[in-house]
Structure 1
Amino acid sequence: MRVVVQRCKDAKVTVDETVTGEIGKGLMLLVGVTHEDTEKDAKYLADKIAGLRIFEDDAGKMNYSVTETEGAILSVSQFTLYGDCRKGRRPNFMGAAAPVEAERLYDYFNQELRAGGLQVETGVFGAMMDVSLTNWGPVTLILDSRG
């Protein structure tokens, strides 16, 4: 499982001109699932993200997590995180999990974040989405449950 984490001042996702998820300060997550992923991967990343210390304290050090700052999460499914561009000019998405399994693990991942007390907004799995955010810092990290 792979997640692009972006610290943001605000973020929203729109489907067919309707806002399906919107947050203020917090984390914007792009979430990809591959064939080998399990609930263990989803739980690991949810726990990691909830405790990830990327918000600054009064001294300007990254010492606070989204949980500690009472931030929110906007989680958007993103199968293209498993796009392979090594050959040719068109990405190959064979590394992405099948939609039914990917959606199940994506939903489980979001449930785990919510179970940790976080407000989680989402897009619509499999839909064409418009995503916007104000990346704060900017701070962008890539997490992978496989190391």
Structure 2
Amino acid sequence: MGTEEGGSTIAVRAEVSKVAEIDQLSDAARQRYGRHDIVVAYAGIELVGRSATGFDEADFDRPFEVNSRGAIITMQPGARDVGNGGRIIFVGSRTTAFPMPGHALYGSSKMAPRFCPPPVAQGMQQPHRVSRGSRTTPRGAVLMARGARRPRR
């Protein structure tokens, strides 16, 4: 909901591969709104067009810092702080389901966070934050806290 509909927004700069910055982002949202209704892990860096044997260590590190580490550490505050009926959303990539030449690093870096939604949902199983399920597709996953309705397909 935008400000024209009576909602409000804040902007917080954060490097998703840095735990301290994600914690600051989460704290700022919690201070402003009291709880998290939705947490979205959507950052990504593409490195495509390189063969599976044609990359160096620096090429490897950046996509894994953002696409793997960043997505996973973004989901952590959601597991801790999402309110009843809230959502944690991981937006993945079709590349993980349909490998293509030149996408080895990018697709690989998106695989680790694709695995995480069910364990993150299990971590939400505290009395007031019980996971009601997860839906995983090649494009993403939605985790729901107690009281939430399943999204329509």
TM tier relative to shorter chain:
0.3 to 0.5
TM-score, L = length of structure 1: 0.34
Bigger Cα Rg: 2
Greater fraction helix: 2
TM-score, L = length of structure 2: 0.33
Greater fraction strand: 1
